[in-house]
Chains A and B, each alone.
Chain A
Amino acid sequence: MAVPRAAGRRLILCVLAILVGNRLALSQSGLRPELPDEEKFGRPADEFALSYCVDPRDPGWEMDNAIGQAIADRLLLEARPHIVADTSQRAEIDDLYRHLLADCRIYFGFKLIPGAYPDWLTVTRPYYETGYVFVGPASAPSRLADIPAHEPIGSTLGSSGDFRLVQYNNSLPADRRWKRFPFGSDASAMEAVVDGTVTAALVWAPAFAQSRKSDSAIGALKVIASEPLNIPAMQVGAVLLSEDTFLRSNVDKAIEAIVADGTVEKILKDQGMPGTPPRSQ
């Protein structure tokens, strides 16, 4: 059946209106942050540079910096690191938005947790994997399984490892559970082990590795095997604004290359970081 030309134009306009309307709806539903001054940032004309953020509040930041340098080298770009100088001990994911507009196009040191990121962010492929470890005093049992029920176990509050601990512990009958004490940071969880508040604590392995270098009391703690709890490794990558698909694609290729040629393994070793190159990509 033929459609009259005027009716056809109206149909096309309607379809376009619906498509535009849906696009607007989708972009708002992602709750992208709104900065009242965001138009002043623009996008960097850095065809010859890779501007990336690393954060000294993250125990892995020096390794992240070396990874950024290696990725820039692989892409034949000038590495332009931005050392984040924020002083707040905690921040919201939304706070990344200003950094990704103002300071850098890629921000290293983010765990690849499914569902953890809003639509306006995208993540790269992982450049290394590490995990969470139980730490305890020298006198502690060598396995979590040997710590008696009702003993207090510390955990850095709400980490992916902590989720595993909560789910496992809650699945046990009440008389076989440990007491779980959540702490606000890896540092305070390790402190609780040192001062005897808890028998052991589940912390981010890079945080333990860094802290034991500078704090002799933490240096005296040992790693306790997590059996019977299985805590899988955690992959670490970087975040970008979701529209930076071309850059992400190139960074992903560069990560693949520096993993394959042993650069990542060498950086991990040089930095004394617990972890391995990603086993599957």
Chain B
Amino acid sequence: MQRRYLLAASAAVSLLLSTSSHVFSQDSQEKNRLDSFTPVTDDVLLNPPDGDWLHWRRTYDGWGYSPLDQINKQNVKDLSVAWTWSLTPGATETTPIVRDGVLYIHNNLDKIQALDGATGDLLWEYTRDLPEAVVEAGGNTATKRNMAIYQDKLIVATSDTHIIALDAKTGQLVWDVQPADWNKGWRYSSGPVVADGVIIQGMTGCGNAQPGGCFVTGHDPETGKELWRFHSIARDGEEGNSWNGLPLESRFGASVWIAGTYDPETKTVFTGVGQPYPWIAEMSGLLPASSEPGVTNEALYSDSTLALDPKTGDLKWYHQYLKNDTWDLDYVYERILVDLPFRGSDRKQLITTGKLGIIESIDRENGDWLWAKETVPQNVVASIDPETGEKTINEEAIPHIGQTTLNCPADPGGRGWPATAYSPRTQTLYLPLAEYCSNTTPQPLDPGQVYTGGGRATFARIPVEGSDGNIGRVDAIKLTDQSTLWSHRQRAPMTSALLPTAGGVVFGGDWNRYFYAFDDETGEVLWKIRTNNAINSFPVSYEADGKQYVAVAVGNGSSQARSLATLTPELRNPAAGSALWVFALPEN
């Protein structure tokens, strides 16, 4: 098969933009799947075709559910490898986007590829010419958990903290904007959501080099122009003084490192916010609590849901789940929107699960707290008021300088960034979980004048008391009554997001390189396959030429997965070997 170079950026443009993009056709006589690409309009984003995967969690409501049912409980045992594709080595926490059978994948260090979803043929490839310092730094933020697609553009948050638009048909760079300076510590680890015609992107890396904390920006999809900026750390006078009397220059953190979800009915974007930095409250100045009248140490808007107007960035309301988080127990993850009855009346619920592994529901029209459900063992929250959701904190779990304290779960979380998912078929939430604790000892930040990260505390991760050795877990929780439908426990930590489908199966993977299909009603393992590395990404399902596929990226390098793996030292994975695995049923 002859590879023919069809199109490249003009030399001048390539030099000017310092990027490279190449379009390939595996066979020039063959119709290129990109020829039938159709623009992704607002209406398409609101109602994606069943065979496409257009949002991070497929639909605006954040379910992560595929309505495809060709692969089902009866035939999933026959699932086999359709094709594989090697990816740039390194952390691979990615979510493919699929449109009209074309699969778009982000590789570590910002190589973006368009692949034929049926054959795995490369259609185009874009390689960002990153600054040397960014490439050498590598690490966790060289991967991106999602991209977005809108009209004819693929929207990507890059590892040098730009936002770019690529032509979805050619991979050519359309525009490039820089909301913040990588050298100052700003980072993107996830991509945007496009809501009501606006690109909405959260910022992370807001540690001790970024006074005033993180922010969310809104951008024009035609040009990338910044339309608004909302700061995720409350300014003076905004919602009182919740930062213990600290000046703005002494407030750090509140990273927005996971993409938001969107309610088109109320035109509201919901985004999560992480914890204050550094994590230990005695270091951040949030403890001891000030006795000044009108001053609190809640540290708004850390560990909250923000309800934002996508057109203006105006805050409609917020709900804070954990005040003054001193454990790195983010409430930043996916917001799942479901309409289900609660206490006898229909409620528009917003459900999220923080690192504590406590599932919490609020009313997405006003932020009122509705209910909570605990999953993994935890000792941080002593009790939750069943009417208000107010948490009473276990004082013994609060870290102090000069002491070692026990907190469960450990800092990477009873659940981490691998997303939970909701199936309307079973009205059930599926969660990838981990059972473990940490002996936490605060440590100075300054072993080197520059090398200050990682020294916030020594987190000696240990199994929970009385553990049977099982660290990994998948829970299925009925959202109609918050009962546990089933719980699958195993030695290997679960390190991927979950993917329930209309076929009645839930896909997910672990650190031990296994990719599973669970029965969505019983948790029975219906099928599994061992891959070449940790399953540490977001599986998706799509359709090409009338056939259902399941795709998942594997790779090593995620700090969250590596932290979990310290508890299972006998399970070893290669450093390199990132790949995309795609599965389908045999032809017959």
What residues make up the interface of A, taking CB atoms closer than 8 Å to B? 21, 24-25, 28-29, 31, 34-38, 55, 57-60, 85-96, 98, 109-111, 113, 115-117, 156-160, 162-163, 166-167, 170, 174, 177, 179-185, 188, 192, 197, 204, 207
Q: Which 4 A-B pairs have the closest CB atoms?
A: A36-B89, A158-B445, A92-B453, A184-B208
Contact across chains for A115 and B566 when beta carbons are under 8 A apart: no
Q: Scoring B residues 310 to 322 as 1 if CB is less than 8 Å from chain A, else 0, what string do you get?
A: 0000000000000
> Which residues does chain A contribute within 8 Å of B209, judged by CB atoms?
89-90, 184-185
Q: Give the nearest-CB partner of A111 in chain B.
A: B447
18 sampled A-B residue pairs with Cβ under 8 A? A31-B562, A34-B557, A57-B449, A87-B133, A92-B451, A92-B454, A93-B451, A93-B453, A95-B139, A96-B451, A98-B138, A110-B447, A113-B446, A158-B445, A158-B452, A182-B285, A184-B209, A207-B449
Identify which of A21, A95, A182 contacts B284 (C-beta below 8 A): A182
Known: A31-B562, A157-B445, A159-B444. A55 touches B89 (CB 8 A): no
Contact across chains for B245 and A34 when beta carbons are under 8 A apart: no
Q: Could you tell me the distance between the alpha carbons of A166 and B280 in the complex, rounded to whole angstroms? A: 12
Q: Could you tell me the distance between the alpha carbons of A138 and B130 in the complex, rounded to whole angstroms? A: 47
B586 interface residue, CB < 8 Å from A? no
Known: A31-B566, A110-B448, A185-B208. A158 touches B455 (CB 8 A): yes
User: Within the complex, what minimum Cβ distance (angstroms) separates A67 from chain B?
Assistant: 15
Q: Could you tell me the distance between the alpha carbons of A204 and B450 in the complex, rounded to whole angstroms? A: 12
B247 interface residue, CB < 8 Å from A? yes
User: Within the complex, what minimum Cβ distance (angstroms) separates A76 from chain B?
Assistant: 29
Contact across chains for B453 and A90 when beta carbons are under 8 A apart: yes
* In the complex, chain B residues 422-445 whose Cβ is within 8 Å of any chain A Cβ: 441-445
Contact across chains for B137 and A167 when beta carbons are under 8 A apart: no
> Which residues does chain A contribute within 8 Å of B455, judged by CB atoms?
93, 116, 158
Known: A109-B449, A158-B444, A184-B208. A174 touches B291 (CB 8 A): yes
Q: Could you tell me the distance between the alpha carbons of A60 and B447 in the complex, rounded to whole angstroms? A: 13
Known: A93-B454, A182-B250. A156 touches B285 (CB 8 A): no
> Which residues does chain B contribute within 8 Å of A86, judged by CB atoms?
133, 136-137, 450
> Which residues does chain B contribute within 8 Å of A57, judged by CB atoms?
449-450
Q: Give the nearest-CB partner of B450 in chain A.
A: A57
Contact across chains for A36 and B570 when beta carbons are under 8 A apart: no
Contact across chains for A58 and B450 when beta carbons are under 8 A apart: yes
Q: Give the nearest-CB partner of B131 in chain A.
A: A87
> Which residues does chain B contribute within 8 Å of A91, judged by CB atoms?
137, 448, 450-453
Q: Scoring B residues 102 to 146 as 1 if CB is less than 8 Å from chain A, else 0, what string do you get?
A: 000000000000000000000000000001010011110000000
User: Within the complex, what minimum Cβ distance (angstroms) separates B495 from chain A?
Assistant: 15
Identify which of B89, B211, B401, B572 contacts A188 (C-beta below 8 A): B211
Identify which of A25, A115, A180, A184 contacts B252 (C-beta below 8 A): A184
Contact across chains for A197 and B249 when beta carbons are under 8 A apart: yes
B19 interface residue, CB < 8 Å from A? no
Q: Give the nearest-CB partner of A37 in chain B.
A: B89
Known: A57-B450, A88-B183. A116 touches B207 (CB 8 A): no
B40 interface residue, CB < 8 Å from A? no
User: Within the complex, what minimum Cβ distance (angstroms) separates A37 from chain B?
Assistant: 7
19 other A-B residue contacts (CB within 8 Å) besides A37-B89, A87-B183: A28-B569, A29-B569, A57-B449, A57-B450, A88-B182, A88-B450, A90-B453, A110-B447, A113-B447, A115-B443, A157-B252, A158-B445, A159-B445, A166-B401, A179-B245, A182-B250, A182-B284, A183-B250, A185-B208
B185 interface residue, CB < 8 Å from A? yes
